[in-house]
């Protein structure tokens, strides 16, 4: 176990901070704290990481992650380049292997395919998802002999790219991208850009039943929740090999994954929903977040929080709003919630990732110089982004077409 270190700092930049057990005497002080955990009071949350405000090609972004599981299953990244911005939110389940694999490979597949084709498009994005899925299933095949439960490891996958003024969003699972734009009467309006691939949605259940007309157990209500084969809620993901290919079926000795009857057709897939549009003058910002945020806040609540507060630290503020709501549901305060250890904390909320991308339209028409960086959430690593290899890509593509 990592030693208990809690670093007091005025910003969230620094090494990842693991949870340290708080002195029990401190619990007696919680009743004296205010119900709202603002930036100045109540002490920091040692399970929360953030970058308050950074630059990207078309504006600024804010990034925050909070851990709930014993081992964090949310992995994420922001890649900034001269001509593009990339956001990835990967909400794992069954372990961190799939979400970590996506973080390490999907963006690289995208860059490789973009170079080969001279552009970024919906088809390129789909191909990057497919290559990532194939790569992870190959890893499962190699590993399942010694680690059979890796066949039940999977991840939701939400990706956003702004490329030369066009927004592309691709999604598997129930993470969500929401845009905030100024509507009539100068009020901020939320628009959900992604579909939730979750069995709780009637539309998803109908789709699954139509694909599996001979399988009466394709969706089952279990403990008040609709689940695919009585096991999992998300209908699309990277991984979850045991629901996709018979060769990865798990031994019945793992009761949780025992199927009531063999499946005749894969019960899950990795075909993302794709959305694209040219950014509009009234678009103000994008929120990319794992489902842990949307469990506690509506789309409209989230965009109003972002719109009505200063940019610096806004992802952290939005995340804390969700945590305040999670605490309220348990008749407690966020200051009390912060003292609960990882692992146990999962009973109160999920791992949550939030990335907010501000869109400054005057920058869309300029060649703004920004650091070309790769920032990975929570693990807090920063390095050069491979976006720099796309510089001049359009010129190369035109030359290729001329030849």
Q: Which residues contact 188 (CB under 8 A, 6 or more apart)?
A: 180, 181, 182, 284, 303, 304, 307, 308
| Pick from 114, 159, 143, 145: nearest CA to 270 | 159
Q: Is residue 8 part of a domain?
A: no
Q: What is the pLDDT of residue 5?
A: 30
Q: Is residue 226 part of a domain?
A: no
Q: Is residue 74 part of a domain?
A: yes
Phi, psi at 308, each rounded to 5°: -100, 10
Cβ(74)–Cβ(352) below 8 Å: yes
Q: What is the DSSP letter of 82?
A: S
Return the CATH number at 397.
3.60.40.10
Q: How deeply is 7 buried, as exposed, middle or buried, from its count of CB atoms within 10 A (0-12, 13-18, 19+)?
A: exposed
> What is the rounded CA–CA span in Å between residue 122 and residue 99?
22
Q: Is residue 268 part of a domain?
A: no
Q: What is the pLDDT of residue 267?
A: 55
Packed helices 299-307 and 314-329: angle between N→C axes, nearest 10 degrees? 140
Q: How far is CA 72 from CA 65, 106, 194, 375, 378, in A?
A: 10, 19, 24, 17, 9
pLDDT in tens, the chain (403 residues): 333 333 333 333 333 233 333 332 333 333 222 334 444 345 789 999 999 999 998 999 999 999 999 999 999 999 998 889 999 999 999 999 999 999 999 999 999 999 999 889 999 999 999 999 999 999 999 998 899 889 999 999 999 999 988 999 999 999 999 999 999 889 999 999 999 998 898 998 998 888 888 888 888 888 888 998 888 899 999 999 988 887 777 666 565 655 555 555 555 678 999 999 999 999 999 999 999 999 999 999 999 999 999 999 999 999 999 999 999 999 999 999 999 999 999 999 999 999 999 999 887 666 667 888 999 999 889 998 888 777 656 555 555 544 4
Q: What is the pLDDT of residue 153?
A: 94
First vs last C-alpha separation in the chain: 60
CB-CB neighbours of 334 under 10 Å: 23
Instruction: Say whether 290 sits in a helix, a strand or coil.
Output: coil
Cβ(248)–Cβ(257) below 8 Å: no
Q: Is residue 300 part of a domain?
A: yes
- The total number of structural domains in the chain stands at 1
Q: Is residue 252 part of a domain?
A: no
Q: Is residue 53 part of a domain?
A: yes
Phi, psi at 53, each rounded to 5°: -160, 125
Query: Following DSSP, what letter does each residue of 129-171 receive, concatenated?
Result: HHHHHHHHHHHHHHHTTT-GGGGG-EE-EEEEEEETTEEEEEE
Structure tokens at 388: 């720099």
Instruction: Say whether 76 sits in a helix, a strand or coil.
Output: strand
Phi, psi at 28, each rounded to 5°: -70, -20
Cβ(197)–Cβ(219) below 8 Å: no
Domain encompassing residue 350: 33-96+155-194+277-402
Pairing of strands 273-278, 283-289: unpaired
Q: What is the pLDDT of residue 21?
A: 31
Q: What is the pLDDT of residue 37?
A: 41
This prediction has a pTM of 0.85
Owner of token pair 């999670």: 326
Q: Is residue 344 part of a domain?
A: yes
């Amino acid at each position: 176990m990592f030693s208990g270190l809690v670093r007091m700092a005025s910003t969230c930049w620094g090494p990842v901070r693991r949870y340290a057990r708080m002195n029990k005497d401190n619990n007696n002080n919680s009743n004296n704290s205010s119900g709202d955990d603002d930036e100045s009071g109540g002490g920091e949350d040692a399970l929360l990481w953030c970058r308050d405000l950074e630059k990207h090609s078309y504006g600024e972004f804010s990034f925050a992650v909070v851990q709930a599981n014993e081992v964090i299953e949310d992995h994420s990244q922001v890649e900034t380049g001269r001509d593009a911005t990339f956001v990835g939110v990967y909400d794992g389940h069954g372990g961190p292997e799939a979400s970590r694999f996506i973080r390490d490979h999907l963006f690289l597949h995208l860059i490789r395919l973009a170079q080969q084709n001279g552009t970024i498009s919906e088809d390129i994005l789909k191909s990057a998802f497919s290559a990532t899925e194939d790569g992870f299933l190959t890893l499962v095949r190699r590993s399942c002999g010694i680690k059979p439960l890796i066949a039940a490891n999977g991840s939701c996958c939400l990706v956003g790219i702004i490329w030369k003024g066009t927004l592309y969003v691709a999604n598997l699972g129930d993470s969500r991208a929401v845009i905030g734009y100024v509507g009539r009467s100068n009020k901020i309006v939320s628009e959900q850009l992604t579909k939730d691939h979750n069995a709780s949605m009637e539309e998803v259940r109908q789709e699954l039943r139509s694909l599996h007309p001979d399988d009466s157990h394709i969706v089952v209500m279990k403990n008040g929740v609709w689940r695919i084969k009585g096991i999992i809620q998300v209908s699309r993901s990277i991984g979850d090999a045991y629901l996709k290919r018979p060769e990865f079926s798990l031994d019945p000795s793992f009761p949780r994954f025992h199927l009531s009857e063999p499946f005749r057709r894969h019960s899950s897939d990795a075909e993302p929903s794709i959305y694209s549009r040219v950014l509009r003058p009234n678009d103000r910002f994008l929120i990319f977040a794992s489902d842990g945020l949307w469990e506690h806040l509506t789309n409209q609540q989230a965009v109003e929080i972002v719109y009505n507060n200063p940019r610096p630290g806004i992802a952290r503020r939005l995340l804390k709003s969700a945590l305040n709501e999670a605490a309220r549901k348990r008749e407690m305060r966020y200051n009390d919630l912060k003292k609960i250890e990882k692992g146990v904390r999962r009973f109160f909320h999920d791992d949550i990732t939030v990335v907010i991308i501000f869109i400054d339209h005057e920058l869309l028409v300029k060649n703004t110089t920004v650091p070309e960086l790769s920032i990975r959430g929570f693990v807090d690593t920063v390095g050069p982004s491979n976006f720099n290899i796309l510089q001049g890509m359009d010129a190369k593509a035109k030359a290729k077409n001329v030849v």
